[in-house]
């Protein structure tokens, strides 16, 4: 298994501002994943972050809105830019613990006012 | 891409009751996981079960890969079992290849 921490755990932000979420893993991993969970909804993959290369974004998500950094094999950041109330969600970081099994961080609960 | 359907969407139980949650998926999978999301939003891994049956305390899961479904059994439910139960499978995403795809979840409420 993998132990994942995220910062901040929650935040309330004003529209038009940006928030950077940090994800730290206790072991080196090749791929890190960022998910969004809007209120009352399931989880949707935003992007996959590989160390040393640009993140791969899923349909409907763009780098200008959700820039991602992956400076090393244990750390990644996701920025939510120019926020609007529609960005209010839980953002979760995830890694694979084995070939396929995935583990999730505790999430960052974001409210945009 | 792969489709994942969970049923029922909502379930209300009295403490002590048993329940069965179902997950259907549209294609063959390499991985199936069950998660419990607690009221604080944290996703807890329950089972990694691409096929067969596993048990962990009051919870057990069965995946019949050839028939493309999985079942999660909760026995003698407790109020702490409340939350959302997600099934997720490794499916093919157009832009990024094989990735974990979630169902819509089952919202479980266990009343004392």
Residue A103 has pLDDT above 90, yes or no: yes
Residue A21's pLDDT band (boundaries 50, 70, 90)?
A: very high
pLDDT of B59 reads: 98
Confidence of residue A95 (pLDDT cuts 50, 70, 90): very high
Contacts of B101 (CB under 8 A, 6+ apart): B1, B2, B4, B88, B89, B90, B91, B93
Nearest-CB residue to A42 (from B31, B93, B103): B103
Give residue-wise pLDDT tens across range A53-78: 889 999 899 999 999 999 999 999 99
Record: contact A104-B103, CB cut-off 8 A: no
Nearest to B99 among A37, A45, A107 (CB): A45
Backbone angles phi, psi at B65, to 5 degrees: -65, -35
Predicted local confidence at residue A52, as pLDDT: 80
Q: What angle do CA B35, B108, B45 make, to 5 degrees?
A: 10
Cβ neighbours around B44 below 10 Å, total: 12
Return the pLDDT at A96: 87
pLDDT tens by residue, A82-91: 999 999 999 9
Confidence (pLDDT) at B97: 66
Binary contact (B102, A43; C-beta < 8 A): yes
Q: In Å, what is the CA distance from B109 to each residue of A23, A104, B70?
A: 31, 23, 21
Profile chain B (112 residues) by mean pLDDT over runs of 10 residues: 93 97 89 93 93 97 95 97 95 68 96 96
Q: What is the pLDDT of residue B96?
A: 59
pLDDT, residue B93, reads 58
Q: Measured between CB atoms, does B41 come within 8 Å of chain A?
A: yes
Q: Which of A101, A103, A107, A110 to mutate to test the interface with B (most CBs of B within 10 A)?
A: A101
> What is the least distance, in Å, from the CA of A42 to any CA of chain B?
5
Location of structure tokens 């040393």: A52
CA A9 vs CA A5, A47, A65: distances in Å = 9, 20, 20
Q: Do B30 and A48 touch (CB under 8 A)?
A: no
What average pLDDT does chain A have?
A: 94
C-alpha distance from B28 to closest chain A C-alpha (Å): 14
Contact A107 B43 (CB under 8 A): yes
CA distance A25 to A60: 27
């Amino acid at each position: 298994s993998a132990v994942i921490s995220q910062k901040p755990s929650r935040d309330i932000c004003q529209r038009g501002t940006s928030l950077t979420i940090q994800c730290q893993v206790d072991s080196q991993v090749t791929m890190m994943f960022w998910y969004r969970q809007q209120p009352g909804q399931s989880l949707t993959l935003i992007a996959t972050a590989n160390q040393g290369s640009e993140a791969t974004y899923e349909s409907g998500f763009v780098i200008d809105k959700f820039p991602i950094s992956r400076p090393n094999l244990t750390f990644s950041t996701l920025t939510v830019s120019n926020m609007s109330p529609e960005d209010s969600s839980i953002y979760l970081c995830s890694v694979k613990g084995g070939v396929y099994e995935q583990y999730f961080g505790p999430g960052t609960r974001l409210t945009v006012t | 891409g792969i489709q994942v359907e969970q049923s029922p969407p909502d379930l209300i139980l009295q403490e002590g009751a048993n329940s069965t949650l179902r997950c259907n998926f549209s294609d063959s999978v390499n991985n199936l996981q069950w998660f419990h999301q607690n009221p604080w939003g944290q996703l807890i891994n329950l089972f990694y079960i691409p096929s067969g049956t596993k048990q962990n305390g009051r919870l057990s899961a069965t995946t019949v890969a050839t028939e493309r479904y999985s079942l999660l059994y909760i026995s003698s439910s407790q109020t702490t079992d409340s939350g959302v139960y997600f099934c997720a499978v490794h499916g093919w995403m157009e832009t990024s290849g094989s990735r974990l795809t979630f169902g819509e979840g089952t919202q479980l409420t266990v009343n004392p």
